[in-house]
Amino acid sequence: MMPRALRRLVHMVLFCPLSKGLQSRLPAIKVKYLLLAWLGILITSWVIYMQYASYSELCRGHVCHMVICDHYRRGIVSGSSCKALCDQRTLTMQRCMSTSSTHQVYIGLWKDRPVVIKCGLEDPLKTDGAPGSFLRQEMSLFEKPTRGTSMDEFKEMLHSFLKANLGEQPSLNTLVDRVITLADINKDSKVSLAEAKSIWALLQINEFLLMVALQEKEHTPKLLGFCGDLYVTEHVGHSSLYWLEVPHYLQALVPEALSSSLNHWLAPAWPRRARITIGLLEFVEEVFHGSYGSFLICDASPRHVGYNSKYDCKMAELRSVASEAVVRGFMRGRRCETNADCTYGRDCTATCDRLVKQCNSEVVQPNLAKVCVLLQDYLLFGAPVDLRGDLEKQLRTCVTLSGLASQMEVHHSLVLNNLKTLLWKKISNTQYS
């Protein structure tokens, strides 16, 4: 129990900081400081409450663990990480990084090595909140393939799925073989029903599909393991271009100019930012007409671009990257009144044909133009004086690029290479190259 004298003191500070008796005994300056202290306590309490409320809503890793391990022990799912997660407990979730209640992201440890653990959950508003309701919702993920499906039938399922999501590509059979190899965790040249159900559920996750398709690319995080529809990737030391991210509930209180200035002050030295930028431009090249088609960046946010301790760019978040085939399929035949009705994700926007009131299939702004909009803020501040003029000119040209097919091939490549060359010339033969 709190002592009576202490309770009275707390009551006085919180509920009557400006009583007449107190004002008569304290100089005005002290009353002002007391008011500021009271206001500070109030704001701090509100921030702590919002942090707690946000954490409890967004961070449900314990539910992920419970559901996946229940399915694993019942033989429904399998995966290369299942024993470490459920039996040995050498794969553990440590720090919650989730920004959505339906997509859990945790920094974790796997045999004392930092990793990123991701898994999907149903929206808690669509369940009754009981542990069994999550199990029922998750079961639907593992309905395919059904018992009795042959290996040839499963390969045909995979081929049809990949064709629908990546388009008709000459190398789809190679990708099917890669998926089969990944699913065969015990390397017995067979795929069990649990292995097949797990890899099928994972392929429904856009980011996992992209990691498999782009696994040999330098700027895509490496896939380290999976269990059911939970997957583990390499840890990217810095998961955003900027260090400071103002929570949504504080954005109205913190001026944008202040947060921008702080991020500029905390950012790496300009040559290191140039190195990160070159890696980001290389990623744009990698997803433009790759082995498995073209991919579109549908949310070019600094929160999705990370880098490691060597300042090599690594895409920390791939959920906003979509195949061109998927985006075209979304636009095809879609009814519209304005261009805003023809938007996939956050900013993959096509034009609306107002005569027939249908979306055109070509996205207006290509990946490179979106990335250059991001780089105008990230790269120009602190740039060397002798380079700044040319850099501004290159970036202005870049942001005006069109996504129309007539411009995409030659012009896109020319602008990208010019920008890379400009940066490489400045940092080559230095400690930053």
Q: Where are the domains of the chain?
A: 60-122+140-234, 248-332+364-429
Query: pLDDT tens digit string along 288-330?
Result: 878 888 899 999 899 899 999 999 999 999 999 999 999 999 9
CA distance 98 to 122: 14
**Can you state the angle between helices 172-183 and 151-166, rounded to 10 degrees?**
120
Instruction: Work out the mean pLDDT of the chain and round it to a whole number.
Output: 84
pLDDT score for 128: 46
Q: Which residue has the higher pLDDT, 30 or 236?
A: 236
- Residues contacting residue 130 through CB under 8 Å, at least 6 positions apart: none
pLDDT score for 6: 47
Min mean pLDDT across 138-152, 196-210, 240-254, 335-349 is at 240-254
pLDDT score for 288: 83
Name the one residue in this structure whose structure tokens are 């994700």. 345
Q: What is the DSSP letter of 128?
A: -
CA 108 to centroid of chain Cα atoms: 16
Q: At 136, is the pLDDT very low, low, confident or very high (cuts 50, 70, 90)?
A: very low
pTM of whole model > 0.85?
no
CB atoms within 10 A of CB 18: 10
CATH class of 248-332+364-429: mainly alpha
